[in-house]
Amino acid sequence: MARGDRALWLKQPGMPEELRLQLEQMNEAEESDSFYRDLAFGTGGLRGVLGAGTNRMNVYTVSKATRGLGNYLLAHFDSPSCAVSYDSRIHSADFASLTAATLAQMGIRVHLYPTLMPTPMLSWAVRYYKASAGVMVTASHNPAKFNGYKVYGSDGCQITIAAADEILACIEAENVLVDQLPELQPYLESGMVTYIGNDCVEAYYQAIDTLRDTRDCTPLQVVYSPLNGTGNLPVREMLHRLGNIQVEVVPEQELPDGHFPTAPYPNPEIREAMRLAIAQTVKSRADLCFATDPDCDRLGAGVRVGDDVTLISGNDMGILLLDYLCANKTLSDGKAPVAVKTIVTTEMAVPVCRKYGVELRNVLTGFKYIGEQIGDLEQRGEEGRYLFGFEESYGYLSSTFVRDKDAVNAAVLVCEMAAFYKGKGLTLLQRLDQLREEYGFYAQRLLTFAYEGESGAHRMAEIMASLRAPLAGMDEALLHTAERIDYLNDETGLPRSDVLSFSLKDGRKIIVRPSGTEPKMKAYLFASGRDQAAAENALNELEEITNKYCK
The residues assigned a catalytic role are 140
Strand partners for 66: none
Measure CA 231 to chain center: 14
Query: Read out DSSP for 317-363?
Result: HHHHHHHHHHHHPPPSSSSPPEEEEETTS-TTHHHHHHHHT-EEEEE
Query: For 364, which DSSP code?
Result: -
How far apart are the C-alpha atoms of 491 and 364, rounded to whole Å?
Answer: 13
Contacts of 349 (CB under 8 A, 6+ apart): 318, 319, 322, 339, 341, 360
Distances (CA, A) of 342 to 289, 366, 391, 543: 26, 7, 6, 21
Alpha-carbon gap, residue 431 to 86, rounded angstroms: 37
What residues does 390 pair with on adjacent strands?
A: 341, 396
Q: Are 250 and 290 in contact (CB under 8 A)?
A: no
What backbone torsions phi and psi does residue 168 show, to the nearest 5 degrees?
-60, -45
311 CA to centre of own chain: 19
Strands (E), 24-154: 46-49, 81-86, 109-112, 133-137, 146-152
For residues 290 and 277, is the Cβ–Cβ distance under 8 A? yes
| Pairwise CA distance, residues 50 & 65, whole Å | 15
Phi first, then psi: give them for residue 164, nearest 5 degrees.
Answer: -60, -40
Q: Could you tell me how many residues make up the chain?
A: 551
Nearest residue to 152 via CA among 425, 479, 356, 403: 403
Separation of alpha carbons 510 and 523, rounded Å: 7
Residue type, 190: S
d(CA 279, CA 298): 21
Q: Are 471 and 501 spatial neighbours (Cβ–Cβ below 8 Å)?
A: no
DSSP, collapsed to helix, strand or coil, labels residue 2 as coil
Contact yes or no for 47/517 (Cβ under 8 A): yes
Letter for the amino acid at 403? R
Query: Which helix H or strand E contains 171, and what residues bound it?
Result: helix 161-172
- In terms of Cβ atoms closer than 10 Å to its own Cβ (0-12, 13-18, 19+), residue 110 is buried
Q: Nearest CA to 278 among 247, 251, 310, 246?
A: 310
Answer whether 118's CB lies under 8 Å from 294's CB. no
Residue 348 CA to residue 316 CA, distance in Å, equals 9
